[in-house]
Amino acid sequence: MAISVPAQRAVRLGQARRATVVGQARRAVMLGGAALALPLLTACEGPEGEIKSLKAQIQVDYGEKNFKDIVVKAEKALSLSLQVQGPKSGDTLYFAQALSEGYTELGDKRSAVKALGREITLRLGAGQSERKLQPRRTLAIKFAEETGDPDTAAKHALAISRDIEMDMNKDPQPVYRADTRYPPDQFRRNVEGDVTLEYAIDQTGKVTSAKVKTATPPNVFDNAALESFLKWRFTPVLKNGEPVASAGHTFTIMFRMRGQNIAPGR
């Protein structure tokens, strides 16, 4: 498997062993696909009316990027919708996602991890497939890793592993990739290269060891690749349905100038 540096965009799980990712792009999620210009409902009565009013307000807030207001209203609306409509209703799922997105946009990663966990649980309970929820899980893993919560990251990684039936014959898939920085001297000189690593992971998918197997050009990008890679997490290998440590895997990090959109390392 391979990935280019700087590599921030998620790699679809289960794709070919070599892949090139060249950019990072935050993309706002249109909550529920609903239009943002819906008028506020000011004359509603009863809990159903309050739910509709809160939903309309959140849509307006999202368009105006009022994320602090979104999380306050989404929390209230989610609690009300769970009581009135139940955990499987479309509005309940909408508010759960609104809460996750609100915390994400605010940069409150700890709260976002909890909100994403609740959203995923609700969506699974409503019958949505685990495969469809993988992007939400990988986002939760990213935030959990970045806030020092490896147990939550491991839980989500295992769920993905079970969904894709990650047996001993498959290559582990990366679910968290720490930033890999381009060496500044090579960046200035427009030097590109590849580093193939041989690595081992534990039963949680965390990289426990890695060494350079091949590198082109040699001894140029090795340290940058290793420094980043030792912080990565993969889908753990399953044996008889249970996660186990494994070794002998390979992954290629490709250092490419094309598509460079973050600063090189210092």
pLDDT tens-digit map of 174-214:
999 999 999 999 999 999 999 999 999 999 999 999 999 99
Residues 156 and 44 in one domain: yes
Q: First and final CA of the chain: distance in angstroms?
A: 27
Give pLDDT, residue 183: 93
Distance (Å, whole) CA 252 – CA 198: 9
Q: How many independent structural domains does the chain possess? A: 2
Range of the domain at 73: 37-163
Same domain, 44 and 147: yes
Token pair 């041989």 in the structure block, residue: 198
> Do both 120 and 42 map to the same domain?
yes
In a domain, 29, yes or no: no
Q: Which residue has the higher pLDDT, 100 or 12?
A: 100
CATH code at 71? Answer: 1.25.40.10
Sheet of 193-201: strand order equals 2-5, 246-255, 193-201, 207-216
Name which of 1-5, 28-32, 109-113, 146-150 the model is least confident about.
28-32
Give one DSSP letter per residue of 127-176, joined into a string. T--TTTTHHHHHHHHHHHHHTT-HHHHHHHHHHHHHHTT--TTS---EEE
233 and 247 belong to one structural domain: yes
What does the pLDDT average to over 139-148? Answer: 98
261 within some domain: no
* Domain contains 246: yes
Q: Are residues 90 and 156 in the same domain?
A: yes
What pLDDT does residue 258 have? 79
> Residues 103, 11: one domain?
no
Domain-embedded: residue 207: yes
Residue 146 vs residue 26, higher pLDDT: 146
165 versus 11: which is more confidently predicted?
165
For residue 257, the model assigns a pLDDT of 87
pLDDT band at 92 (very low <50, low <70, confident <90, very high): very high
Residues 101 and 85 in one domain: yes
C-alpha dist (Å) from residue 56 to 24, 51, 132: 31, 9, 26
Judge if 238 and 148 occupy the same domain: no
CB 200, CB 209: distance < 8 Å: yes
Per-residue pLDDT, 197: 97
> How does residue 34 score in pLDDT terms, banded at 50, 70 and 90?
very low
